[in-house]
Chains A and B, each alone.
Chain A
């Protein structure tokens, strides 16, 4: 029965082909540093899942943001766990993504034919930092408020267009409800969409080109 169901699905989805192409392929022998890419992906998934659950109760408004997070932490079963994973996951993800970049750099894996994979990787690194920056404001506590006040002030130092950039980031002259909702939107829609799409491209490239090998003295 199970076999029949599998055959039926396989005929339509091409599961065997996927297995042969993606899983059953030969790759060079590599070391443990090569696990950081998949770890980044898993962390992104985990952040996505815990983020979805946080969105069940979180309200992006100055009146309610703080209280809704207090409710998540103290009023809902396991809210502390979901938020704890999301909070620490952010830091861990920055570390893992950064180390992944360093490993790629160290082994020269950005070179032919993987230049484009590297480019998508750089964007992914920047997006990860962007997630950290936008997510930091959402709890609307003292840390968040003041860090973002300063953080959005930085581009303001650019000659001529600086103040305008700051106003665009904040959606006004100062930090307000408008800032909070746009950071929220960027944090849960724009950046995850970009990251999700680019991870797709990134992994496609890795599967197509094969993971880079550890270079030896001749390379």
Chain B
């Protein structure tokens, strides 16, 4: 083929078949990739202050669970997602709010009063009352939320996305 300056009919058709075939593949294929990826690219971040009720509801020195829901649109579906937090009032004024999501693989951790630790049921991760790692595979302490108190009510800064 390199020797002949003329394209044989065979090679010409081969070329046309190749070009048109590729064109059809590209016209369908590239949009299709965007079609599959776009939900992952469209995740919006949102933030808001979630009220957790009067601060006085939370006893000092004892992690107390609180759950709240957020409504979200996933594609065509309105979903109400539940979130759980542990509120720890270390002193009257110093409050820490922990997420109950394990920092390892996002299982939900729970507070065990008897051993005074948070335990993740998936890979047996343990944290102490202040959220510091005791044992287990998790890479970091429990995540915390920024919080504030207004008129005696506790709020956490909740960031999604």
A–B in direct contact per CB < 8 Å? yes
List 6 A–B pairs whose Cβ atoms lie within 8 Å, in order of A's numbering: A56-B35, A75-B42, A75-B76, A77-B34, A78-B31, A78-B34
Q: Are B75 and A78 in contact (CB under 8 A)?
A: no
- CA A82 to CA B75, docked complex, whole Å: 17
Given the interface contacts A56-B36, A76-B39, does A71 sit within 8 Å of B75 by beta carbon? yes
Give the segment of A62-70, A150-158, A200-208 that binds chain B: A62-70
Query: Residues of A contacting B35 with CB < 8 Å?
Result: 53, 56, 76-79, 82
With an 8 Å Cβ cutoff, the count of chain A residues facing the other chain is 20
Additional A-B contact list (15), CB under 8 Å, known A59-B76, A75-B75, A76-B39: A50-B28, A53-B32, A53-B35, A56-B36, A57-B76, A67-B76, A71-B75, A75-B38, A75-B42, A76-B35, A76-B38, A77-B34, A78-B31, A78-B32, A78-B38
- CB atoms of B31 and A64 under 8 A apart: no
Q: How far is the CA of A145 from the CA of B78 in the complex (A)?
A: 24
Q: Report the minimum CB–CB distance from B75 to chain A (whole Å).
A: 5
Q: Interface readout for B62-92 with A: 1 if CB under 8 Å, 0 if not?
A: 0000000000000111000000000000000
Contacts of B38 in A (CB 8 A): 75-78
- Interface-centre pick from B36, B76, B77 (highest chain A CB count, 10 A): B76
A101 to B16, CA, bound (A): 28
Interface residues of A in 31-87 (CB under 8 A from B): 46, 49-50, 53, 56-57, 59, 64, 67-68, 70-71, 75-79, 81-82, 85
